[in-house]
């Protein structure tokens, strides 16, 4: 690679010709919103796993109640709480599936579509331009791309 291009982001992280600053900012905001949705989805999976784990922990509580001679209390927990829906008609896996189907997948598809249509499929352009504005050229760990060394700059 010639020296002029060694200290530039790779093509995948450079704004395509004709793409405006406003478009880069708009796609950056859209991407950030999707990233927040990814975090929400992760929290939903955490909810799913914690709730499922708690349901299995109830088996131990029921066993210990029986060992302590509290069969009616054990029966109550087993009958009313073990395997119970978390909202009417739903276990947590059904909530995760509905969220993915109804919100997450359409959102991700639209973000991919608009990035493709408006920026030639190039992702993270906003962040790449922030990196270029904020890094110190010629310094270790401030290179434009992986594998570059300050001597190439």
**Two tokens at 12?**
């995948």
- Please name which of 23, 20, 14, 35 lies closest in space to residue 115, comparing C-alpha atoms: 23
Which residue is listed with tokens 């598809």? 109
Q: What is the distance between the alpha carbons of residues 3 and 63, in angstroms, rounded to a whole number?
A: 71
> Can you give the pLDDT at residue 7?
79
> Can you give the pLDDT at residue 143?
87
Across the strands, what pairs with 90? 87
> Can you give the pLDDT at residue 91?
97
> Can you give the pLDDT at residue 6?
65
pTM of structure: 0.82
Q: Crossing angle, helix 92-99 and helix 21-67, to 10 degrees?
A: 170
- Please name which of 7, 27, 5, 34 lies closest in space to residue 105, comparing C-alpha atoms: 34
CA-based R_g, the chain, Å? 26
123 touches 115 (CB < 8 A): yes
**134, 140, 145, 150: CA torsion to nearest 10:** 110
Q: pLDDT tens, position by position, for the chain (153 residues)? A: 454 456 788 888 899 999 999 999 999 999 999 999 999 999 999 999 999 999 999 999 999 999 999 999 999 999 999 999 999 999 999 999 999 999 999 999 999 999 999 999 999 999 999 999 999 988 888 888 887 766 554
> CA dist 92 to 45, 58, 83, 140, Å?
9, 16, 11, 47
């Amino acid at each position: 690679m010639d020296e002029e291009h060694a200290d530039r982001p790779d093509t995948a992280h450079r704004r395509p010709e004709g793409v405006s600053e406003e478009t880069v900012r708009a796609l950056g905001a859209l991407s950030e919103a999707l990233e927040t949705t990814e975090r929400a989805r992760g929290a939903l999976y955490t909810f799913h796993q914690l709730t499922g784990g708690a349901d299995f922990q109830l088996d131990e509580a029921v066993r210990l109640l029986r060992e302590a001679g509290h069969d009616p209390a054990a029966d109550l927990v087993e009958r009313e709480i073990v395997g119970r829906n978390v909202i009417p008609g739903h276990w947590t896996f059904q909530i995760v599936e509905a969220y993915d189907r109804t919100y997450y997948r359409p959102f991700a598809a639209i973000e991919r579509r608009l990035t493709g249509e408006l920026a030639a499929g190039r992702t993270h352009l906003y962040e790449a331009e922030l990196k270029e504005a904020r890094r110190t050229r010629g310094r270790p760990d401030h290179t434009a791309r992986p594998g570059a060394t300050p001597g190439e700059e």
